[in-house]
Chain A
Amino acid sequence: MLLEVRDLHVEFHTRDGVAKAVNGVDYSVNAGETLAVLGESGSGKSVTAQAVMGILDIPPGKITQGEILFQGQDLLKLKEEERRKIRGAKMAMVFQDALSSLNPVVSVGDQLGEMFQVHKGMSRKDSRAKAVELMDRVRIPAAKERVGQYPHQFSGGMRQRIMIAMALALEPELIIADEPTTALDVTVQAQVMDLLAELQRELNMGLILITHDLGVVADVADKIAVMYAGRIVERAPVHEIYKAPAHPYTKGLLESIPRLDQKGQELYAIKGLPPNLLAIPPGCAFNPRCPLARDRCRTDVPPLYDVTESPVKRASACHFWKECLHG
């Protein structure tokens, strides 16, 4: 197993109280595998990723419980300096908004080359050559001429390619992509996603794809973890989930995708608002918005039930998963 997150809990201490952002998340990724983490904003999907990368703001953030095993080693037990050496070199991250995530006053060549200078001790000149190589690799035209340019001189799609190039620079084992295509035009989204998937295959990397876009997931992911209020509510191979979701929340998400064959019908929407992390409802956090909710859901927190019915393993955190799966 390349990465295994076990029972991770993260809290944020704010002026208004303690926000429980992540409440016991388990997931894992193998080399060459793509895990899609799905959820609304505030579901804890990005916070989990930041905890894995070790870039959580501490304070106000705090990891209260859990393990993050990377190649068998618990990252949370490492010293900051040891973790730093892993960051960027063995695991890397692609952020959502490349314009703000790239330094506006440093040329892209320097920002790419920096990876080689810091982690490999290369000279400025050699690292510049490496930067050009990387830009070629993510198919930025005229890389040699553009290596000295600044982020604002590139288009949105090109900037995201630079982000990807930066993450790939040292050929890490794991890439975490946090909504890598959300900020892009629809036409560019597919190109960038394809590029990412292709490079992943080539380098046999594990990929954690954080997204709220089910359309993206279907094409590239191997398995899916759906998060809600800091917990995983459903975990399954991608095709199983599309066929028959085992959690009412996943079901709601799938039904809210516009489909051509349902043209003219009213689009489904999950009622209610995402939970307030300062006051997560007792019982199942989804109960106030759930069409299947009954008394038990308001008192008992559902564990992640093993709902395997076919050869492929899957899990759902719904007391009434059977109803959901078959109803």
Chain B
Amino acid sequence: MVDETTGAVAAATARDAAASAPVTDAHTPHYTEEEILQKFFADNEEEAAESEEEIDDLIEAQEAAEEEEARKPPFRDVATEDEMVDATRKVFDSQGNFRAIFYQLLDAARTEHAGAALSDFVANLPEMKLVTYPTTYFIESLYDAGALDRALPADYVPRTAAPVDAEAFFKEGTGAEGDPDLAPAAGAQPAAADAAEADAEADTLPPALTDYDYTVSPAGERILSDFSPLRRIAELFDVEPDLVGGFKAVLEFCQDAGRSREEIEEVLKEKGFHIGLDLDSSFYLDRLEQQGGLVWKNKGWHTTAAGVEILQQSERE
């Protein structure tokens, strides 16, 4: 049957059905996938082989490009200080709720240098509560961008790969964590249990990110200055002069105890600060948090040290 719209003959294969448009009063003939695959790819072995070669060529070209990319020196080895500052800004702005983490980590690195300690510091930040990334992601990002410098401590001892204690690992009924679900089936033979392998000389491992000591680079110092909460809160007040009263009221209210969003909204309403359909109370919280004046912890909003200082400055003025 010929369709008058497209001139197509009723589909002989799925492919034909696709290339034609409607098929009037006709059912699409049925081919299994195997039949269609055969039709597509097995009809002409020579062509298939050629295509295979083309794919191989493509893969080789891609691998070569990747190798070339790998040979390039790291950004921080060739970048200027200005470029590192720009790169760090991008890192700070890479994800909404990460800015405070990056800032506090960089600030902490002024006094705390050990990678492991910095990792612990990040892990304990309230902003990390729902972050799934490893703490080292934040350290590495700042290092890669050039905001942190690093060096191995003088007493660093390279670690080695520990030989597998196959017997302990596969101790029946306990598993690695003592979890019976991880236990092997009865009679299982661990592949790594080969005695010769277990006795083999351990390999030296490259240093982990937490093995290094970190210091803030000149680019990092500039960023810390630019992103100083005091400076940013002051900038916020300049950008939103009509809302300064509301911002200060929030900082004041959250000084002594954690406050809920609803409580803060009530205070803003009571004091007659602008909120409505064109400006939600959460705008005040969002902006003050972003500039480092508020922090959310223990299910309440708290004024940060910088927020308190801003209030004190205002009083002095």
Q: Are A and B part of the same complex?
A: no
**Contact surface of A with B, Cβ cutoff 8 Å:** none
**Contact surface of B with A, Cβ cutoff 8 Å:** none
